Amino acid sequence: MSLAAEVERLKEERNAVLLAHNYQRPEVQDVADFVGDSLYLSRKARDADRPVIVFAGVRFMAETAKILNPTRRVLLPDLKAGCGLADAITAEQLRTWKAAHPGAVVVAYNNTSADVKAEADYCCTSSNAVKVVEQIPADREVLFLPDMFLGDYVRQKTGRAMHLWVGDCPVHAKLRPEGLARARAAHPGAPVIAHPECGCASAALPHVDRVLSTDGMVRFAEETRAPEVLVATEVGILHRMERLNPATRFTPIDAGAVCPYMKEIDLADVRDSLALDRYEIDVPPATQERARRSLERMVAA
């Protein structure tokens, strides 16, 4: 029996739903029940009625799933699937930052640990960060963390003077405006779509047609009639784009933009996760309690 068939069989046996992020390996995406961006998958996890959720993504996504649907058993097939951006701030660092800005509203990107979310007022993802920040009364001071490029982009779109934590994603920070401008010059006429975590996303705006979350990029890819599109994000997303629109060529701005954390999970890990019931992601109940309000605001926005 093929690995994919084993996964299908085990999903039924365990009564499990398999969620996969757009950056996962193609063979993992192909056996998932739902593939999407971090907001879409958070909502799917919140609404999951099966007792087991296998999260083919990274740890913070599995923690979010647990907090939003605490009676489910949440499995992450490889514990090395972390996130360099989520590691950019600890709860202790956030408490110190908050103490320096009493009364400020804290907006945490979903790419943070559960302990950090427990200190936040709002969570957001790349697809609703602008919308979330727009909900905050204009007279309130805002601390935005941990991605300074996403934060700067949101600051530009909303006109809000937010304080930004100086953190970045090691994969996207390398995708800089100069590289985007070079690619654009080398592929005249091809639209450029970029993720807001890209290095200095707001400075890159003149070289970019659309700044979008990963699902926003997939939707653009599906609908475009352009012969070629330049894509500035992690290259795992190209699989879905090529499947959804074989008539367009999707060219990565940097073919080396590979997230090592997102590639930790392979099909054998998914099979073993289901067969051996590993690795359970749990979040202490007190942390869940404190993080839930900000996450509920995220999935509602």
Site residues (CB under 6 A) for ligand SF4? Answer: 58, 83-85, 111, 169-172, 234, 259, 261-262
Helix (H), strand (E), coil (C) string for 213-225: CHHHHHHHHHHCC
Minimum separation from the CB atom of position 264 to ligand SF4 (A): 10
The CA–CA distances, whole Å, from 194 to 42, 85, 204, 258, 277 equal 22, 18, 9, 15, 37
> Which region, left, alpha or beta, applies to residue 263 given φ > 0 means left and ψ of -120 to 50 means alpha?
alpha
Q: Please give the Cα distance from 140 to 199 (Å, whole number).
A: 27
Name which of 193, 131, 200, 192 is nearest 169 in CA terms: 200
Name which of 180, 171, 174 is nearest 214 in CA terms: 171
Q: Which one, 144 or 261, has the nearer CB to ligand SF4?
A: 261
Minimum separation from the CB atom of position 172 to ligand 13P (A): 6
Minimum separation from the CB atom of position 153 to ligand SF4 (A): 14
Q: Which one, 61 or 75, has the nearer CB to ligand SF4?
A: 61
Residue whose CB is nearest to ligand 13P in the complex, by number: 37
| Residue ranges in contact with ligand 13P by CB under 6 A | 37-38, 111, 125-127, 169, 197, 213-214
Q: Which one, 105 or 169, has the nearer CB to ligand 13P?
A: 169
From the list ligand SF4, ligand 13P, none, which binds 261 (C-beta under 5 to 8 Å, kind-based)? ligand SF4
From the list ligand 13P, ligand SF4, none, which binds 59 (C-beta under 5 to 8 Å, kind-based)? none
Q: Which one, 83 or 162, has the nearer CB to ligand SF4?
A: 83
Minimum separation from the CB atom of position 137 to ligand 13P (A): 25
Q: Which one, 111 or 248, has the nearer CB to ligand SF4?
A: 111
Q: Please give the Cα distance from 40 to 269 (Å, whole number).
A: 23
From the list ligand SF4, ligand 13P, none, which binds 84 (C-beta under 5 to 8 Å, kind-based)? ligand SF4
